[in-house]
Amino acid sequence: MLNLVPSAIDPEISPETFETIGQILKNQCGFRLDGYKDKCVKRRIGIRVRATQSPSPEAYGELLTRNSSELDHLLRVLTIHVSHFFRNPSTFEKLSSLILPRLLGEVSRERGVRLASVGCAGGEEPYSLALILKDRFPEALEHGSVSISASDVDGKTLEVARQALYHPDRLAEVPPELMLRWFKREGERYRLCPEIRALVEFSRADLNDCLSLEPCDLIMCRNVLIYFERTRQEAILNGFADALSSGGTLVLGKSESLFGSARRRFRTVCAVERIYQLI
């Protein structure tokens, strides 16, 4: 017979309690649960119900109304910030050898090239782009013709990004010469130097508001869509297509792909790296 450990069983969250917790997150953190996969969200709430030793999901909902640090904690658990520099190095290699030379060559100097990292977590992804530009396309930066914007729904993770102080496990894929040149050790961690940090502009934005996307030439949105329901994913993908300039590039995570009406708006540049170009 299956021997379940009581603490590992997900508590049953009623639709009413789910709604209440959703309202608290929306009113107090500006974070909306709609569009996310219910099952995934409920599992994560369940983790916090157990961790706080709340006797029931309802009691946990009560706790959220009077304990702002638990509310922060829940938000962090829901918005998973796993990331590291040069995550999937082959994707950055493709960007550097194929996509960036084309974008930097095509777009006029007056307008500049606009790169965006959406769901940027602690800044690892946009800073990796910045390091590539500095290392391989310094003349484009000198002319001030490239900008990198980075956004996330979680204000706390954006603070981490702005501080740019990282544990070595986030830096394992940084090429040694870039590590030596652009990071300074501070105790057990490493801080990215101001010259690279200045290349990225961070702001808070919710992917659910596709209309808030600024026009751009390249969007990296990796390992974010997986948390959303299919219909919401499709709406977000169409939002990317609307925001991209003609011939603009979209990069998704390795376990994400284009589908539905959004599929028809892009051609595949590299299926393995999930790189697509707006038609």
Please tell me whether residue 207 binds ligand SAM under the rule CB under 6 A: yes
Give dist(CA 223, CA 225) in Å, integer. 6
Please tell me whether residue 273 binds ligand SAM under the rule CB under 6 A: no
- C-beta of 152 vs 217, nearer to ligand SAM: 152
Give dist(CA 198, CA 164) in Å, integer. 11
* Residue reference for tokens 């910045």: 130
Which segment (43-51, 78-86, 160-168, 187-195) binds ligand SAM by CB under 6 A? 78-86
> Which residues share a beta bridge with 251?
220, 275
Least Cα distance to 170 among 158, 160, 159 occurs for 160
CB of 120 to ligand SAM, least distance (A): 6
User: Helices marked H in 9-94 — which ranges?
Assistant: 15-29, 38-51, 57-66, 68-78, 89-94
Please tell me whether residue 224 binds ligand SAM under the rule CB under 6 A: yes
* Residue reference for tokens 């050898």: 97
Count interface residues toward ligand SAM (CB under 6 A).
22
Please tell me whether residue 62 binds ligand SAM under the rule CB under 6 A: no
Which position among 91, 208, 233, 277 is part of the footprint of ligand SAM (CB under 6 A)?
A: 208
Which segment (94-102, 147-155, 166-174, 181-189) binds ligand SAM by CB under 6 A? 147-155
Half-sphere exposure for 185 (CA within 13 Å, toward CB): 4
- C-beta of 40 vs 51, nearer to ligand SAM: 40
- R_g (Cα) of the chain, nearest Å: 20
Binding map of ligand SAM across residues 166-195, x = CB under 6 A, - = no contact: ------------------------------
Q: Centre a 10 Å sphere on the Cβ of residue 166 and count the other Cβ atoms it contains.
A: 22
Chain centroid to Cα 257, Å, comes to 16
Contact positions toward ligand SAM, by CB under 6 A?
A: 79-83, 87, 119-121, 124-125, 152-154, 157, 206-208, 222-224, 253
